[in-house]
């Protein structure tokens, strides 16, 4: 079926809901019990999702919410899979979906409101799982993109109690990590979360930031917040943020005029 979608591309979009009705439930019932049964069905199913996502994305926007929830859950199951090819396919589908949504602003906001924090939770769960280390580049690419969406104000729906989504996501990620890694200090988590935003325009640096954190969570460092490494890292991130801000100031519309230095407001 994926081959048909790949061949016909957008022409078959109106038929995708019928294809899902015929295949989705029965296929999911075969593959959602564990990660081992029916490996060929599993691979074919995700190749179909990938083809639809690439060529018939509007079909995802036309199916009922409960069926789209199954699509989303299937993508999560994919990138949590123990088979590397299935996991990477799931990550690629998710990244392509996030990019596709940018072409559909209204649908994007509804998606973010429903799924944004869930995606963060699920991606961080595989980032910190040593069996998924080989996919760190894909994890970094997705997370950097997601944090950049929030930082740039492209998500207008509230993602938490505050009107400031950057604050909402900072607090959410900090809470998520503290509950999962109680041995980390508040300062360790704060610096890590700060870096997720400061480095979101540089995927390589973002990936190294994730790698440093993975090393940290394996170490019990105690409660000493005066750790020189943390202080140096905090200062380094401040410099990176200042440089990124200076660069954004040169691009019209990227910075709120009220946040510009006085000597640049009249230019």
- How far apart (Å, rounded) are the C-alpha atoms in residues 73 and 247? 38
Residues 6 or more apart whose CB falls under 8 angstroms from that of 102 comprise 108, 154
- How far apart (Å, rounded) are the C-alpha atoms in residues 143 and 138? 9
> What SS3 state is found at 156?
coil
The pLDDT score that the predictor gives to residue 225 is: 40
Do 172 and 147 contact (CB within 8 A), yes or no? no
The pLDDT score that the predictor gives to residue 221 is: 46
The pLDDT score that the predictor gives to residue 140 is: 97
The pLDDT score that the predictor gives to residue 27 is: 75
The pLDDT score that the predictor gives to residue 253 is: 62
The pLDDT score that the predictor gives to residue 162 is: 96
Nearest to 188 by CA among 208, 167, 205, 174: 174
Nearest to 233 by CA among 198, 183, 182, 184: 198
CA distances from 99 to 133, 170, 260, 263 (A): 24, 22, 29, 36
* Alpha-carbon torsion, ordered 148, 151, 157, 162, to 10 deg: 140
The pLDDT score that the predictor gives to residue 256 is: 57
Do 229 and 215 contact (CB within 8 A), yes or no? no
Nearest to 46 by CA among 13, 92, 101: 92
Residue pLDDT tens, the chain, 267 long: 677 877 878 889 998 888 888 877 777 777 666 666 666 777 888 898 999 999 999 999 999 998 899 899 989 989 998 888 889 999 999 999 999 999 999 999 999 999 999 999 999 999 999 889 889 999 999 999 999 999 999 999 999 999 999 999 999 999 999 999 998 899 999 999 999 999 999 999 999 999 999 988 887 544 444 454 565 666 777 777 777 777 777 766 655 555 555 555 554
The pTM score is 0.82
- How far apart (Å, rounded) are the C-alpha atoms in residues 199 and 209? 8
The pLDDT score that the predictor gives to residue 228 is: 42
Q: Can you give the residue ranges of every domain in the chain? A: 1-103, 117-128+135-250
Do 190 and 236 contact (CB within 8 A), yes or no? no
The pLDDT score that the predictor gives to residue 11 is: 86
């Amino acid at each position: 079926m994926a081959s048909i979608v790949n061949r016909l591309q957008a022409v078959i979009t109106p038929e995708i809901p019928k294809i899902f009705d015929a295949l989705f439930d029965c296929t999911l019932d075969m593959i959602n019990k564990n990660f081992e049964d029916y490996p060929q069905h599993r691979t074919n199913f995700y190749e179909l999702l990938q083809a639809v996502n690439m060529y018939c994305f509007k079909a995802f926007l036309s199916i009922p919410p409960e069926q789209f929830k199954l699509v989303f859950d299937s993508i999560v199951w994919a990138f949590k899979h123990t088979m590397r090819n299935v996991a990477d396919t799931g990550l690629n589908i998710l990244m392509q979906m996030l990019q596709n949504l940018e072409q559909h602003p209204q649908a994007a906001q509804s998606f973010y409101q429903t799924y944004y924090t869930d995606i963060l939770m699920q991606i961080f769960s595989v980032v910190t799982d040593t069996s998924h280390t080989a996919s760190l580049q894909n994890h970094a690419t997705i997370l950097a993109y997601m944090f950049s969406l929030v930082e740039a104000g492209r998500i207008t729906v509230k993602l938490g109690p505050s009107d400031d989504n950057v604050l909402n996501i900072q607090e959410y990620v900090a809470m998520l990590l503290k509950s999962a890694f109680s041995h980390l200090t508040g300062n360790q988590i704060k610096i890590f979360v700060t870096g997720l935003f400061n480095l979101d325009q540089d995927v390589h640096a973002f990936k190294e930031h994730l790698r440093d954190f993975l090393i940290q969570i394996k170490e019990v460092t105690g409660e000493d917040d005066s750790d020189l490494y943390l202080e140096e890292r905090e200062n380094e991130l401040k410099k990176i943020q200042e440089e990124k801000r200076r660069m954004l100031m040169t691009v019209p519309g990227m910075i709120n005029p009220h946040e510009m230095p006085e000597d640049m407001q009249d230019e």
